[in-house]
Amino acid sequence: MQEQREMEGAAKAPISVIIVAYCSADVIEACLDSLIATTGATLRVVVCDNASPDDSAALVADWAGRCGVSFAEAEAGAQAPTEGDLSWLTLLRVPQNMGFAGGVNTGLTWFLSRAEIELFWILNPDSVVEPGTAAAYVRRAEVAGPFALMGGRTRYLEPPGYLQSDGGRIRRWTGGVCYNVNQGLLPAAAEPPLAGSLDFISGANMVASRAFVEMVGPLREDYFLYYEEVDWAYRRGVLPLLTCPEAVVHHHGGTAIGSGSINRRGSAFANYFNFRNRLRFVARFAWPMLPVTYAFSIMQIAKIALMGGGRQAVGALRGLHQLAPPREVSDRIASEAAELAFGRWGRRK
């Protein structure tokens, strides 16, 4: 069955798919099931497992055996063989939790050795893609000319149908708060934005071009979680962002880290990194706005606390002030990854 689908897209170079998994055992198989149902495009998929303490990696290997796809395993830092056909699915084992950016960079390192691969589709493991999404991305790239990053329409799996992101913007008057365009709206009532009006593409579902990756390099890994894709987009120079509304992905959102959504408050873990990295991003790209960023963030934290989110507010407050994380945050990061995640505060773990 998979071979037949690949023949349908055989005239096209493969689009690579990079999935960063961490404690993704409950969602990764559904993601892979949706990818194997792709039509009109040839895929080559890597799952970069960030040293998950659950059985995510074993499930990936078992899934490949059950589905009969070609499968390989390699260690982080390896490059794909430059000749011969790549396995449909490769499991890259990362020895420690490198965060989102570190996982993506592991996948990029693997695929960049293959000159025929021009598109790198970064996809969250808690996603389900529609069969024509990959082909839509390929068609859009073929007619677009040089570009940096491209995004489709990302919808929530729960509540079903509602949009999570049509791309991202930064509210300048807040000093750096990011938001997802059309979040919480139904697709029929939400006009897709013009690409020129966007500041970034959501990292849950974005396609990077080879030209962009080779020009700006990999994602910065010192964010660990949140703002990595915003930083990446801000380094794109003259290469534009693209939108592809026909490319639809359904996304749970924050299953491993507790990201906020339209019906869920962000966890202390998510808030710590979000508020910390907002300040870091603004310091890099718009440092005169730091006082505004700080003041607006304090107002947000006060609102979280007043709405009964005391623990979530503490996480946000400590992140904003670049302090050591609360215990409930630090305990979720293994000791060998603590310094990467928390900097000097991680050395004490």
Which DSSP string corresponds to 294-333?
Answer: HHHHHHHHHHHHHTT-HHHHHHHHHHHTTPPPPHHHHTTS
Residue 259 lies in a domain: no
Q: How far apart are CA 348 and CA 330, in angstroms?
A: 11
Residues 137 and 100 in one domain: yes
CA quadruple 116, 119, 122, 126: dihedral positive or negative? negative
Question: Are 100 and 225 a contacting pair, CB within 8 Å?
Answer: yes
Residues 21 and 135 in one domain: yes
Residues 222 and 299 in one domain: no
Residue 154 lies in a domain: yes
User: Which residue do the tokens 């060998």 mark?
Assistant: 336
The b-or-e profile of 218-229 (16+ CB within 10 A means b, else e) is bbbbebbbbbbb
Residues 174 and 321 in one domain: no
Task: Compute CA 20 distance to the chain's CA centroid, rounded to the nearest angstrom.
Answer: 8
Residues in the chain: 349
Question: Are 1 and 124 a contacting pair, CB within 8 Å?
Answer: no
Q: What one-letter code names the amino acid at 77?
A: G
| CA-wise closest residue to 89 among 18, 4, 8, 186 | 18
From first to last of the 349 residues of the chain, give the pLDDT tens digit.
454 455 444 446 899 999 999 999 999 999 999 999 999 999 999 999 999 999 999 999 999 999 999 999 999 999 999 888 999 999 999 999 999 999 999 999 999 999 999 999 999 999 999 999 999 999 999 999 999 999 999 999 988 889 999 999 999 888 888 999 999 999 999 999 999 999 999 999 999 999 999 999 999 999 999 999 999 999 999 999 999 999 999 998 755 555 555 455 778 999 999 999 999 999 999 999 999 999 999 999 999 999 999 999 999 999 999 999 999 999 988 888 888 889 888 766 5
Note the pLDDT of residue 141.
Answer: 97
Q: Which two tokens stand for residue 205?
A: 């579902």
Q: Which domain holds residue 45?
A: 2-251
Domain count, the chain: 2
Q: How far apart are CA 169 and CA 116, in angstroms?
A: 32
